[in-house]
């Protein structure tokens, strides 16, 4: 069968790579894909927003399954178009994708169905929001309701920071329509993890947990980004906590969406804070996480395509996982997440050990076939290890081979897992 992956980032490269290994699959297409995917997919020059053309392409080629990567096309109704045309697609309809598209909708759903999350209130009026702020005090979290490319959340430590964020959103319309409504939310503390599940209606098949690193610079400093590195599993969070989150968060959310007449098919992603009172939702996404997917899929022993097809047929297939952990570091173009420098040659990629994973995102090729930075996150380099610290050492050793002044990456990806493991081993030796 032929499979189409919609999107162009590292997440989609990992999806193409994984799908390509399925014995059920003869050909993988990526629309529009990126230059680094050409080893595992045929690129189709269609953007994620070209709905009619994508449907036409899938019909003409006889695509048996389409997986949609990013949130924007889901919220524009791309999965709806595919389903209307009788095509098999893994990704939620627009109504179900609202769980990511509107934070107010997600919070109201959680409240209605008793899904644990931070206390909150929704505002369109600046005066009312400021009055609520006075009542609650700082720290507090200010969130634009709609999609704002990961920039619509301000964790305000002080009242004046919170006031400024509220004014920027409700009075200055910093994110346009996306901040016509805002959510003010209690600030939570704890370990943050990403827990994704393959979902079809009320059936929920959890994937292995991962931890992302959202800030641009070491020590969790600097601006928020799409994600600078990730690892899976997350050894400092106990299995029972993950199981609790599946039972109290993912399954109730899938059930709630069915009851609301918005059944979800695709990947439900819960960003969780492991608080003293147990796991609570920070956010829901309606798709595979990026970069989390790039460290989770390589650990999956099962055939992703077979699992998805059986899930869509009403079964609950079991997923088998490798014991080994995986850690990936994102190299981004200098300037990311603001204005990026592009066009720098990535030297040394051909010298990487064959057992590391190189997933491309913002790269292109020049006439000589060399890879250049093309903006944003350039690539993720990942490696496996018996433990996360072992995987971590491998990745950084390999990254030293990449010579390029036009990129930067964090040096401390996975350090927290590292420290936890060290503490544990010290404890054991005492
Ligand atoms: P989001 O875009 O909703 O994932 O938020 C971006 C980041 O802000 C999250 O990854 C958290 O680190 C932080 N954040 C969001 N909501 C909260 C909260 N209620 N308490 C503490 N931190 C939060
Ligand atoms: N890594 C965060 C996200 O995919 O939204």
Residues 22 and 69 in one domain: yes
Half-sphere exposure of 177 (CA within 13 A, CB side): 3
38, 233, 259, 279 from 248: Cα distances, Å: 41, 20, 16, 9
- Of 238, 295, 292, 297, nearest to 270 (Cα)? 292
In a domain, 114, yes or no: no
Query: Which phi and psi angles does 161 have, rounded to 5°?
Result: -60, -45
- Of 121, 89, 117, nearest to 256 (Cα)? 117
Residues 288 and 331 in one domain: no
In a domain, 185, yes or no: no
Residues 307 and 330 in one domain: no
CATH number at residue 72: 3.40.50.20
- Residue 419, SS3 per DSSP: helix
CATH number at residue 252: 3.30.470.20
Give the separation between CA 427 and CA 49, rounded to whole angstroms.
Answer: 53
- Determine the pLDDT at residue 326: 98
CATH number at residue 367: 3.90.600.10
Given 312, 346, 364, which residue is the final one in a domain? Answer: 312
Residues 214 and 256 in one domain: yes
Q: State the Cα torsion 366-149-414-69 to the nearest 10°.
A: -70
Residues 196 and 173 in one domain: no
| Angle, CA of 290, 420 and 231, to the nearest 5° | 15
Distance 211 CA to ligand 2 centre (A): 10
| Residue whose CA is at the smallest distance from ligand 1 atom 16 | 282
Q: Ligand 1: residues whose CB is within 6 Å?
A: 118, 141, 150, 153, 155, 185, 187-188, 192, 214, 224, 271, 282-283
- Determine the pLDDT at residue 427: 60
- Determine the pLDDT at residue 375: 86
- Which ligand is nearest to the Cα of residue 147, counting in written order? 1
- Of 25, 12, 2, 89, nearest to 288 (Cα)? 12
Among the atoms of ligand 2, which is closest to the Cα of residue 288?
4
- The total of other beta-carbon atoms located within 10 Å of residue 405's CB is 10
| Residue whose CA is at the smallest distance from ligand 1 atom 9 | 282
Residues 301 and 210 in one domain: yes
- Which ligand is nearest to the Cα of residue 70, counting in written order? 2
Distance 230 CA to ligand 2 centre (A): 10
* DSSP conformation letters of 162-214: HHHHHHHHHTS-TTGGGGSSEEEEE---SEEEEEEEEEETTEEEE---BEE--
Residues 58 and 136 in one domain: no
Residues 23 and 81 in one domain: yes
Residues 379 and 402 in one domain: yes
In a domain, 106, yes or no: no
Residues 68 and 145 in one domain: no
In a domain, 105, yes or no: no
In a domain, 280, yes or no: yes
CA 102 to chain centre: 17
35, 269, 376, 421 from 32: Cα distances, Å: 10, 24, 17, 41
In a domain, 415, yes or no: yes
Average confidence (pLDDT) per 10 residues, the chain, 430 residues: 98 98 98 96 98 98 98 98 98 98 97 98 96 97 90 92 96 94 96 97 98 95 92 96 98 98 98 97 98 98 98 98 98 95 96 97 96 96 96 97 96 87 63
| Residue whose CA is at the smallest distance from ligand 2 atom 3 | 289
Tell me the two tokens of residue 265. 């098919």
In a domain, 118, yes or no: no
In a domain, 260, yes or no: yes
Supply the range of the domain harboring residue 269: 191-312
CATH number at residue 140: 3.30.1490.20
- The total of other beta-carbon atoms located within 10 Å of residue 352's CB is 16
Among the atoms of ligand 1, which is closest to the Cα of residue 271?
4
- How many distinct structural domains can be found in the chain? 4
Distance 297 CA to ligand 2 centre (A): 15
As a whole number of angstroms, the longest Cα–Cα distance in the chain is: 66
- Determine the pLDDT at residue 430: 44
DSSP state of 47: -
- Of 282, 279, 304, nearest to 293 (Cα)? 304
């Amino acid at each position: 069968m032929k499979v189409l992956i919609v999107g162009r980032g590292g997440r989609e490269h990992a999806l193409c790579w994984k799908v390509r290994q399925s014995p059920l699959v003869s050909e993988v297409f990526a629309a529009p894909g990126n230059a680094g995917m050409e080893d595992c997919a045929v690129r189709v020059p269609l953007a994620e927003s070209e709905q009619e053309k994508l449907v036409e392409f899938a019909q003409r080629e006889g695509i048996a399954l389409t997986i949609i990567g990013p949130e924007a096309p889901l919220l524009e109704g791309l999965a709806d178009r595919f389903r209307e045309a009788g095509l098999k697609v893994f990704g939620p309809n627009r109504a179900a994708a609202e769980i990511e598209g509107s934070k107010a909708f997600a919070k109201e759903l959680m409240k209605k169905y008793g899904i644990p999350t931070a206390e909150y209130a929704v505002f369109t009026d600046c005066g009312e929001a400021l009055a609520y702020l006075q009542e609650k005090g700082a720290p507090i979290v200010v969130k634009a309701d709609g999609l704002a490319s990961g920039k619509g959340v301000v964790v305000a430590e002080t009242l004046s920071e919170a006031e400024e964020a509220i004014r920027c959103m409700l009075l200055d319309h910093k994110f346009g329509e996306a901040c016509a409504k805002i959510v003010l939310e209690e600030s939570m503390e704890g370990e943050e993890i990403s827990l994704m599940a393959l979902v079809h209606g009320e059936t929920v098949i959890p994937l292995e947990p991962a931890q992302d690193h959202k800030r641009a610079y070491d020590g969790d400093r600097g601006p928020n980004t799409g994600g600078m590195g990730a690892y899976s599993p997350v050894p400092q969070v106990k299995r029972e906590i993950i199981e609790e989150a599946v039972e109290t968060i993912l399954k109730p959310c899938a059930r709630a969406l069915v009851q609301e007449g918005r059944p979800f098919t695709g990947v439900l992603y819960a960003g969780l804070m492991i608080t003293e009172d147990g796991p609570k939702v920070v956010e829901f996404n309606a798709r595979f996480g990026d970069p989390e997917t790039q460290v989770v899929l390589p650990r999956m022993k099962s055939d992703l395509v077979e699992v998805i097809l059986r899930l869509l047929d009403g079964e609950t297939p079991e997923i088998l996982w490798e014991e080994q952990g995986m850690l990936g570091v994102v190299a981004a173009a200098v300037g990311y997440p603001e204005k990026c420098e592009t066009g720098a040659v990535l030297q040394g990629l051909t010298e990487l050990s064959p057992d590391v994973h190189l997933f491309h995102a913002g790269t292109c090729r020049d006439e000589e076939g060399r890879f250049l930075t093309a903006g944003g996150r350039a690539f993720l380099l990942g490696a496996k290890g018996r433990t996360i610290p072992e995987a971590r050492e491998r990745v950084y050793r390999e990254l030293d081979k990449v010579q390029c002044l036009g990129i930067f990456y964090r040096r401390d990806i996975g350090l927290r897992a590292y420290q936890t493991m060290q503490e544990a081993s010290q404890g054991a030796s005492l």
